[in-house]
Amino acid sequence: MTSNTLKVLGMTTAMAAAFTGVAQAQTVDMDALIAAAKAEGTLTTIALPHDWCNYGAVIEGFKAKYGLEVNELNPNAGSADELEAIKANKDNTGPQAPDVIDVGLSFGPAAKAEGLIQPYKVSTWDTIPDSAKDAEGYWYGDYYGVLAIAVNKDVITDASPTSFADLKDPKYANMVAIPGDPRTGNSSMMSLYAAGTAMGGKGGAETATAGIAYLKELKTAGNFVDVGGSAQNFAQGTTPIMMDWDYNVLAMRDKLAGNPPMDIVIPSDGVIAGVYVQAISAYAPHPNAAKLWMEYLYSDEGQLGWLSGYCHPIRFNDMVARGVIPADLMAKLPPAEAYEKAIFPTLDEQSAAKAVVAETWATEMGAN
Amino acid sequence: MKKTFPVGAVLTALFAASFFIVPLIATFYFSLKMTRGELGFAAYASVFNSAAFLNTIVYSTVASLIAILIGAVIIVPTAYWVRLKVPKLRPIVEFISLLPLIVPPVVLVFGYIRLFGSNSWLPLTSSTFGTDLLLVIGYVVLSMPYMFRAVDNGMAAIDIATLTEAAESLGASRLRTIVTVIFPNVRAAIISGAFLTFSISLGEFVLASLLNRPAFGPYLVQLGQDRAYEPAALAIMSFGFTWGCMVLMQLFATKKPGQRWLPRFAQRTTP
Amino acid sequence: MTLDVSASTADLGAPAPRTRAVRVTDWNWLGVTPFFLFAFLFLIGPVLYLVVGAFQNAEGAFTFANIIELGSPNIAASFSLSIRLSLLSALMGAVAGLLLGHAVILGGLPVWVRNAFTTFSGVASNFAGVPLAFAFIATLGRLGLVTVLLRDLFGIDLYASGFNLFSFVGLSIVYLYFQLPLMFLIIAPALDGLKTEWREAAEILGASRRQYWQMVGLPVLTPTILGCFLLLFANAFGTLATVYALMGSGFDVVPIVLFQQIRGNVLYNPNLGYALALGMVVIMGVSNTLYLILRNRAERWQK
C-alpha cells in the first residue's frame, strides 16, 4: 500500500472510531506494542492447564511468534485463586505475580469491583459480542463451551443416553457423576444448571432448585455416584457417565485414545453454555506483554488455537461468516445443530442460582 | 523371656502389610492397562519421555534434604531446651508446632508473598535463591508438627536430665552436650521426623506452584490433568522413589562404625 | 525473671546466688529464641492477616458477621462432622499404630521387618489426596479389585452387605492409610524406651503379660500416646484433598467448607474462609488444653 492510502485509511478509521462513541476500537500500534513487550521479556499466566482449550499449543504459538518467555503459575487454580493471587501480589513484581487471568463470567465484575484489573480493548474488540464483554473494556469473553455428557462404552454397551431425562433410567444405577462439588467448581455448578433447565426451569433460582431436585432424585434412585468425575475415575469405571464442559470431555477422548471408547453427547433437553473471560491485572509487572498476549488471543490465530482444543472462541460467529475456519477443525467438533439451542445464563441468573446452591445443597443432598 | 514363635506379631504384621500393599497393587494394575487389551508399561514410558521428570525430581529431592537439615537444627535444641530448662513454655511450643496442620498451605504461601514480596522489608521473592530459600522454609514449617512430635517422643524415652548432668559434670559446654550427647541418642527419632519431612516436601504442590519453582509436585499435577493411566504410573513411581530414598537414609543414618551394610537375616532381637 | 530452679528438671547443684541465677534464666530463654523467631517470621506472621481477615468483610470494614455465621446450622454441622471423623480416625490410627508397633518392635520379629515398616511408613504417612483416593476406589470401589475378587472367588457381595467406601466409615478406613504409619513412626522411639529390664523384673516378680502392660507398660507410654493422639486428630482435622477426591460433594468437613469460600469458582467469601480457619485454630487450642490436662495427670509419677 502507498503511504497516501495508509493515511486515508488511518483517517477514516479514526473518524469511524470517533463516531462509534462507547466502543472506541482505536487501532492498536502493534509494532510499538511488540517492541515494548519484548523489552519486558516475560509474561506470567495463571490457571492455564495445557489440556484446557489446548492452552499448551496457544502458549507455544505465542512464544514462537514473539520470542517472549511465559511463566506459568498454578495450572490448577480456580477463578477465586486467580483473584487471590493478584491481591497477594499487589506489591510484588517478582515472577509470582500474574499478569493476566482467565476466570468464570461472574468473576469479571467481581474483579472490577475490587479494583484488581485494568481496561484494555484489543484491535478486534468490535467482533466480540456485547453480552460477553464489559463496556469499558475491563473484562471480555474469550471462549465458551456447552455442558456435555461423556459415556464409557465399555460399561454402557448398548445405546448411550441422549438426554438428562434418560439418566433417570434404573439401568444406570451407580453411574452418573458430576465433576465435583457445585459449590466449588464452575463445571459442576453448570451441570446442575443444565439439568435444571432440562427439567423445565426458566432461569436463575428456579433452574437451580430444579437442578438440585433432579440430582436428589438421581441419588435416591441410586443412579448418582458421589465421587467427582475425573478422567481416571471415568476410565476405571466408577463414574462411567460423567457431565462436564464439551471441550474437557473431547480433550479427554483424545487423551484416552479409545481406552476406553467413549461417546460424547450434547443433551437434547438442556443445553447450557458457559463463558470465560480474560482480564489484565491492575498490578501486572509486564503490562505490555499482557496486552500483546490479548492481541494474540483475539487474533484469528489465537482463536483457532482454542478451537483446536474444542473450545468455541468468542469470535466464532464472526470467523465462520468470514470463512476462516478450516474444514477439518469444524469436522472434529460436535454437530452445530446441538449448539443452536444453547442458552447463555446471564450474570444475574448465575448469581441467583449460586445463592440457591449455597443455601440448599448441603441439606438437600445430605452432606452433613 | 519365653522364646515362643510370635504368632500374634506375625499375624499383625502380615495383616498390616496387606492393608498397605493391596491398594498399591490395585493402582499398579490399573497403570498397566494403558494399551487397550494388554498389560504393558506404556504409561511409564509416557512419563519418562517427558523431559521435566528428572529435573523436577532432583530439585525436589535436594530441597527436601535441606529442609530436613534446617528442621533438625531448629527443632532438636528447642525440644531439648523446652523439656529441660523451660517446661512452662512447653504448651506454647507444642501448640505452635501443631498450627501448620490447620493453616491451609494456600494461606501460608500468600502470606509469604505479602511479607517477603519484592516491595517488602525482606524481598526474598526478587531472586531465585531467595524464593528457593522461602520454599525450603515453607517445607520446614509444614513438617514441623511431625518433626517436633517425633523428637519430643524420642526425648521422653531417654533420660535427658541425667545425661545432661553427666555431660556437664565432665565439663562439656551446653552446645557440646547437645551435639555430642543428645543428638546421637535421639537419632532414631530424628530419622522418623526426617522421613516425614522428606515425603511431605517431595510431593508438595501448593507452595511450589504459587512460588513458581520447578518442583516435583506441580509436575505431578500438570501431568495428571485429564489423563487416566499416567497419574497412576506416577503415583507408583514416586512411591517407589521415595521409599528407595528412605531406605538409603535409614542405612546411612543408623550404621554404626564397623557395622555390616545389610542386616543378618537370622537376627531375632532388636538392635 | 525470678530464680526458678524448681521449674527445671536438672539438678545443677546448690542454689546459685542471685546474680548467677539471673544469668542462668536469661540463657534459658535464649535457647528457645531461634524457634520463636522462626515461628513468628514464617508461621505466625504470614497467618496474622488470616486472623485480621476473619473480622473483616469484603470491603475491609470491621465486622463480627463472619464469626456469627460460624454458628449457622450448615457450618455448625460441618464442625461436628469434622470433629467426629477426626476423633474416630485418631482413635483407629492410635490403636492400630500401637498394635503394629508392639508387634514389629517388641514382638520378636527380625530386624529387617522393622526397617521395612519404618521406611514404608515414611512414604505412606504422606500418601494422601487424589492418588490415595483413587487407590482405594480401585481396590474397594464398586468395580474395585478386592470387591470383584470377593464376588468372583468367594461369592461375597461387599456392597450388598451394606459396606460402602463412600461413607463415614469408608472414609475413616482410607484415613487409616496415612494415620497408621504416622502413629507407628512417632511412637517407635517411645517403644524403644521401654527397657527390657522392666519386663524382666516384672516377670521375676511373677507378673503376667497383661499385668505388665497394665501396670508398667501403658502408664509409661500414656503421655506419649496422648501426644500422638493429638497429632493424629489435628492431622485428620486438616485433611482436605483426600475427602474432596473421594467424596466429591457429599461430605462437608470444615476444610472443604473453607475451600469453597477461599478457592472456589462458585462461592467466594474469603473472609468467611478466614473465620473458619480461625475456628479450626480455636478447636486445636481446646484439644491441646485437654491434652495438657490429661498429660499432666499421666506424668505425675515422673519427676
DSSP letters, A104-130, are ETTHHHHHHHTT-EE----TTGGGS-G
In this prediction, residues A51-74 reach a mean pLDDT of 91
Question: Is the pLDDT higher at A79 or at A153?
Answer: A153
Instruction: Report CB contact under 8 Å: A186, C262.
Output: no
Q: Are B146 and C182 in contact (CB under 8 A)?
A: yes
Judging by beta carbons within 10 Å of its beta carbon (0-12, 13-18, 19+), is residue B37 exposed, middle or buried?
exposed
DSSP code at position A272: B
Identify the pLDDT of residue A18: 44
Per CB-CB distance under 8 Å, the chain B contacts of C8 are 84-87
- H or E, element range at A19: helix A3-19
Residue ranges of E strands in A172-252 = 176-177, 241-245
H or E stretch covering A362: helix A347-365
Interchain proximity B6–C132, CB inside 8 Å: no
CB contact under 8 A, B12 and C45: no
Round the CA-based radius of gyration of chain C to a whole number and report it: 24
CB A308 within 8 A of CB A54: yes
CB within 8 Å: C263 and A81: yes
Nearest to A137 by CA among A126, A152, A150, A147: A126
The C-alpha of B113 sits at a distance from chain A's nearest C-alpha, in angstroms, of: 6
- How far, in Å, CA of A300 to CA of A114, rounded? 32
Show residues of chain A in contact with B131, CB under 8 Å: 94, 96
- Band (pLDDT 50/70/90 cuts) for residue C267 is low
pLDDT at A35: 93
* Chain B, nearest residue to A260 by Cα: B36
- Residue B242 C-alpha cell reads as 521415595
The residue in chain C having the minimum alpha-carbon distance to the alpha carbon of residue A358 is C267
Confidence of residue A339 (pLDDT cuts 50, 70, 90): confident
Interface of C with A in 57-86 (CB under 8 A): 58, 74, 77-78, 80-81
Grid cell 475456628 — which residue? C279
- The residues of chain C that CATH labels 1.10.3720.10 are 73-301
A174 closest CB neighbour out of C137, C142, C266 = C142
| Cell of residue C296, nine digits | 499432666
Count of CB contacts below 8 A, A vs B? 92
Q: Output the pLDDT for position C24.
A: 52
Distance from C47 to chain B by nearest Cα, in Å? 6
Q: Which of A111, B18, B151, B214 is nearest to C189 (CA)?
A: B151
Q: Is C74 within 8 Å of A362 when comparing Cβ atoms?
A: yes
B200: number of Cβ within 10 Å: 20
Residue B64: what pLDDT? Answer: 94
CB of C132 within 8 Å of a chain A CB? The answer is no
Judge whether residue A277 has pLDDT over 90. Answer: yes
Residues of A whose CB is below 8 A from B123? 94
A94-113 per-position pLDDT tens digit: 888 999 999 988 888 889 98
Residue B198 near residue B65, CB atoms below 8 Å: yes
pTM: 0.81
pLDDT at position C8 is 46
Q: Determine how many CB atoms are found less than 10 A away from the CB of residue A316.
A: 18
For A148, C11, C35, C174, C203, the CA distances from C7, given in Å and listed in that order, are 68, 10, 20, 43, 36
pLDDT value of position C65: 83
* Residues B104, B110, B112: CA angle, nearest 5 degrees: 105
- Here the cell at position C85 is 471423623
Helix (H, G, I), strand (E, B) or coil at B242: helix
Alpha-carbon distance of C39 to B102, in angstroms, equals 15
pLDDT at C85 over 90: yes
pLDDT of residue C9: 45
CA of C154, closest CA in chain B: separation in Å? 18
Q: Quick one: pLDDT band at residue B260, thresholds 50, 70, 90?
A: low
Predicted pLDDT of residue B271: 56
Of residues B1 and A145, more confidently modeled: A145
> Do residues B1 and C203 make contact, with C-beta atoms less than 8 angstroms apart?
yes
Other CB atoms within 10 Å distance of the CB of residue A252: 24
Nearest chain C residue to A76 by CA distance is: C263
> Is pLDDT larger for residue C271 or for residue A272?
A272
For residue A157, pLDDT over 50 is answered with yes
Q: What confidence score (pLDDT) does residue B264 get?
A: 58
Q: What is the mean pLDDT of residues B108-136?
A: 83
B267 pLDDT exceeds 60?
no
**Residue bearing the bigger pLDDT, C17 or B9:** B9
pLDDT tens for B178-230 read 888 888 888 888 888 898 899 889 888 888 877 878 888 888 777 766 678 88
Residue C266 pLDDT: 63
Contact B184, B256 (CB under 8 A): no
Tell if the CB–CB gap between B20 and C177 is shorter than 8 Å. yes
CA-nearest of B141, A64, B89, B140 to C28 is B89
pLDDT at C3: 46
**Which pLDDT score, from 0 to 100, does residue B262 have?**
57
Instruction: Verify whether the Cβ–Cβ distance C250 to A366 is below 8 Å.
Output: yes
pLDDT at C7 over 60: no
Lowest mean pLDDT of B235-244, C18-27, C214-223, name the range. Answer: C18-27
Tell whether the model's pLDDT for residue A367 goes beyond 70: no
pLDDT at residue C16 greater than cutoff 80: no
B254 Cβ partners below 8 Å, 6+ apart? B187, B188, B191
CA angle A312, A351, B107 (to 5 degrees): 90
Is the confidence at residue C140, as pLDDT, over 60?
yes
Contact B144/C at CB under 8 A: yes
Phi, psi for C157 (deg, rounded to 5): -95, 105
Contact B157/B128 with Cβ under 8 angstroms? no
Report the residue of chain B nearest C10, measured CA to CA: B161
Instruction: Give the whole-angstrom CA distance, residue A193 versus residue A342.
Output: 13
Is there a contact between C266 and A357 if contact means CB atoms under 8 Å apart?
yes
CA neighbours closer than 13 Å in the CB half-sphere of residue A20: 13
* Chains in contact with C, counting 3 or more C-beta pairs less than 8 Å apart as contact: A, B
Which residue would you say has higher pLDDT here, B170 or C27? B170
Shortest distance, CA C38 to any CA of chain A (angstroms): 22
Separation between Cα atoms, residue B243 and residue A77, nearest integer Å: 30
C4 band by pLDDT with thresholds 50, 70 and 90:
very low
Question: CA A305 to CA A290: how far, in whole Å?
Answer: 18
| HEC sequence for B143-188 | HHHHHHHHHHHHHHHCCHHHHHHHHHHCCCCHHHHHHHHHHHHCHH
Q: Among candidates A347, A293, A358, which has minimal Cα distance to A113?
A: A347
> Which residue from A minimizes the CA distance to B227?
A231
Span B60-73, average pLDDT: 94
Checking if the pLDDT of B69 tops 90, the result is yes
| B267 chain-C contacts, CB cut-off 8 A | 110-111
Closest CA to A178 of A121, A251, A114, A249: A249
* A73, A252, A256 ranked by CB distance to B210: nearest: A73
pLDDT, chain B, mean: 84
A143 touches chain B (CB under 8 A): no
Strands A241-245 vs A140-152: parallel, antiparallel or unpaired: antiparallel
In the structure, what pLDDT confidence band is assigned to residue C216 with cuts at 50, 70 and 90?
A: confident
* Chain C residues touching A237 at Cβ < 8 A: 143
Judge whether residue C5 has pLDDT over 50.
no
**Model pLDDT, residue A329:** 84
Q: Helix/strand/coil (H, E, C) string of chain C?
A: CCCCHHHCCCCCCCCCCHHHHHHHHHHHHHHHHHHHHHHHHHHHHHHHHHHHHHCECCCCCECCHHHHHCCCHHHHHHHHHHHHHHHHHHHHHHHHHHHHHHHHHCCCCCHHHHHHHHHHHHHHCCCCCHHHHHHHHHHHCCCCHHHHHHHHHHCCCCCCCCCCCCCHHHHHHHHHHHHHHHHHHHHHHHHHCCCHHHHHHHHHCCCCHHHHHHHHHHHHHHHHHHHHHHHHHHHHHCCCHHHHHHHCCCCCCHHHHHHHHHHCCCCCCHHHHHHHHHHHHHHHHHHHHHHHHHHHHHCCCCC
Q: Which position has the grid cell 502389610?
A: B17
| CB within 8 Å of chain A, chain B residues 172-201 | none
Q: Chain A 14-53, CB below 8 Å of chain B: which residues?
A: 44, 49-52
**Residue B121 predicted with pLDDT over 90:** no
Where is pLDDT greater, at B270 or A79?
Answer: A79
For A282-335, what is each residue's pLDDT tens digit?
999 999 999 999 999 999 999 999 999 899 998 888 888 888 888 888 888 888
Strand A100-104 with A69-73, pairing:
unpaired
What per-residue confidence (pLDDT) applies to A306? 92
CA angle, residues C255, C258, C261, in degrees to nearest 5: 155
Which residue has cell 477426591?
C245
Chain B, nearest residue to C46 by Cα = B111
Question: What does the pLDDT average to over C145-153?
Answer: 90
Superfamily of domain C73-301, CATH level 4: MetI-like (1.10.3720.10)
Mean pLDDT over each residue of chain A, to the nearest integer: 86
Is the pLDDT confidence value at A24 over 60? no
